[in-house]
């Protein structure tokens, strides 16, 4: 999609554009046989995604760092949709330990997994390191989702094989991926405080999201597994 179409909302080949709402895009969809995880589903785009998926009858897992905000989001969804199937689980993407604990908690529910929507993120933060010693934007926006995806991949593959319904993994991208450091992802200076630029670091993390999605899609297609 070009910048003009993005700004004006002009529909693309799919019939939808940046001005299309989630309800318009999913009109007529019956997702009652699907289970979806939405990271950062307690607010913003994540909350709207969770709300509309629940509206289309999917079983939605809101994964959020702030569990109280996630519970409030669940109640907001239930207020207008009493039959919605929504659960909340704690997930702090900048923590390897938290990602592993989330996956254990989700697996304990005994649910299938059809959709993984990697939406959560942080933006334009002052330089700081995660508890694992990694620059926060890169840790949260990319590495956390990278680990989460890999830990859940077999679950998604098994669900696809069992149900015959191809899975989907969505990495929320941003046009900011073009505004990164000179050489793209500066792997040798991920944690460097001196060269740190909050906006370029964000762009770096979003570029990593896109590269991850592209390579994951390639590998899954090669093996005939669940979709991108």
Please count the CA atoms within 13 angstroms of the CA of 208 that sit on its side-chain side. 24
pLDDT at site 48: 97
pLDDT at site 228: 41
- Please give the Cα distance from 126 to 134 (Å, whole number): 13
Question: Around Cβ 222, how many Cβ atoms within 10 Å?
Answer: 8
Classify residue 197 by its DSSP letter: -
Would you call 181 a catalytic residue per the annotation? no
Is 55:21 a contact under the CB 8 Å cutoff? no
pLDDT at site 227: 44
pLDDT at site 169: 96
Supply 193's token pair: 């405080």
pLDDT at site 10: 79
Rg of the chain (C-alpha set) = 18
Instruction: Please state the CATH superfamily assignment of the domain spanning residues 26-223 in this structure.
Output: NAD(P)-binding Rossmann-like Domain (3.40.50.720)
Q: Which residues of the chain fall below pLDDT 70?
A: 1-8, 223-228
Q: Nearest 5°: CA angle at 27, between 43 and 155? A: 60
pTM (predicted TM-score): 0.91
**How do residues 149-205 score in pLDDT, each as one tens digit?**
999 999 999 999 999 999 999 999 888 787 888 888 989 999 999 999 999 999 999
Residues 6+ apart with CB under 8 A from 227: 166, 167, 168, 169, 217, 220
Please count the CA atoms within 13 angstroms of the CA of 99 that sit on its side-chain side. 23
pLDDT at site 3: 60
| Catalytic residue (choose from 106, 138, 196, 202) | 196
**How do residues 80-90 score in pLDDT, each as one tens digit?**
999 999 999 99
Supply 178's token pair: 């073009």
Domain ranges in the chain? 26-223
């Amino acid at each position: 999609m070009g910048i003009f179409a993005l700004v004006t909302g002009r529909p693309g080949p799919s019939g939808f554009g940046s001005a299309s709402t989630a309800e318009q895009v999913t009109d007529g969809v019956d997702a009652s046989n699907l289970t979806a995880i939405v990271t950062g589903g307690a607010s913003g785009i994540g909350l709207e995604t969770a709300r509309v998926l629940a509206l289309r009858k999917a079983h939605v897992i809101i994964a959020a760092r702030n569990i109280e905000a996630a519970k409030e989001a669940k109640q907001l969804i239930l207020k207008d949709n009493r039959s919605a199937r929504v659960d909340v689980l704690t997930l702090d993407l900048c923590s390897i330990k938290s990602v592993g604990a989330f996956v254990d908690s989700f697996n304990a529910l005994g649910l299938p997994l059809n959709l993984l929507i990697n939406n959560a993120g942080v933006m334009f933060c002052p330089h700081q390191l995660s508890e694992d010693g990694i620059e926060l934007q890169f840790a949260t926006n990319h590495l956390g989702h990278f680990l989460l995806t890999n830990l859940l991949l077999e679950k998604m593959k098994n669900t696809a094989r069992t149900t015959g319904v191809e899975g989907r993994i969505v990495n929320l991208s941003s046009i900011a991926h073009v505004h990164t450091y000179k050489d793209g992802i500066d792997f040798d200076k991920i944690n460097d405080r001196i060269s740190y630029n909050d906006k370029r670091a964000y762009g770096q993390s979003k570029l990593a999201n896109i590269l991850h999605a592209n390579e994951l899609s390639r590998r899954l297609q090669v093996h005939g597994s669940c979709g991108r």
